[in-house]
Amino acid sequence: SAAFDNFDAGDTLTAVNGTPVTTPGQVQEMIRNMAPGDEVNIDYLRGGEEETATVVLGEHPQDPQVPLLGISMTSVPTSDTEVSYNLKDIGGPSAGLMFSLAVVDKLSPGPLNGGKFVAGSGTISEDGSVGPIGGIAHKVRAAEEAGAEIFLAPTDNCAEALTADRGDMTILKVDTLEHAIEQMDAFNFGGDFETCS
């Protein structure tokens, strides 16, 4: 493959053509915008030492128009911090957003929710993107019945979320973990926030 001989297992890619990268998805997106035969400079760490490799992109075996870097990449946590939850009857990816917000809340000064009863649902990816979930109308209804003032919903779930009886509860649309925090701040402190409606 194009890059196979340049990298070893355990190398950490840090930049593509001088642009910093932190996830495999960022590397793939940058490569996708190039063409087979293009040269790409990749900065990486090996054993704590910074190095650079220049690689000529290959062709994807199923589509010769698609560039191929030719290495497998995975994400590895950059911190030894461990987080554990003591919860019952909660599982699946749809709690990712709320679990992530709970961690941010514990690591931040003051309550992240501004003292409001906040509910929500959504998957979370390693880059902080919030993804859609199934059955959101039921979750909105349950949150309203429990007395939530705000419900955080993935933008892709907004149409379905609005079909639920929500009373006076405000449904805020969110795209990323950072966006969810910004949305709560705006709601709590009189800023501009985006609702699903």
Higher-confidence residue of 12 and 25: namely: 12
- Is the domain defined by 93-188 classed in CATH 3.90.1300.10? no
Q: How far apart are CA 42 and CA 1, in angstroms?
A: 15
Same topology, domains 4-68 and 93-188? Answer is no
- Reported as a single tens digit per residue, the pLDDT across 84-109 is 666 666 667 788 899 899 888 888 87
Q: 166 in helix, strand or coil?
A: coil
- Reported as a single tens digit per residue, the pLDDT across 53-90 is 999 998 888 888 888 888 887 776 666 667 666 666 66
Domain boundaries, the chain: 4-68, 93-188
Closest CA to 42 of 9, 12, 66: 12
CATH, domain 4-68, list 1.10.3470.10, 2.30.42.10, 1.10.1740.10, 3.10.110.10: 2.30.42.10
Q: Cα torsion at 6, 49, 18, 10 (round to 10°)? A: 50
Q: How far apart are CA 102 and CA 96, in angstroms?
A: 10
DSSP letters along 24-62, please? HHHHHHHHHTS-TT-EEEEEEEETTEEEEEEEE-EE-SS
Provide the b/e sequence for 93-125 (b: ≥16 CB within 10 Å): ebbbbbebbeeeeeeeeeebbeeeebbbbbbbe
Structure tokens belonging to residue 190: 């009189």
Residues near 126 by Cβ (< 8 Å), separated by ≥ 6? Answer: 23, 75
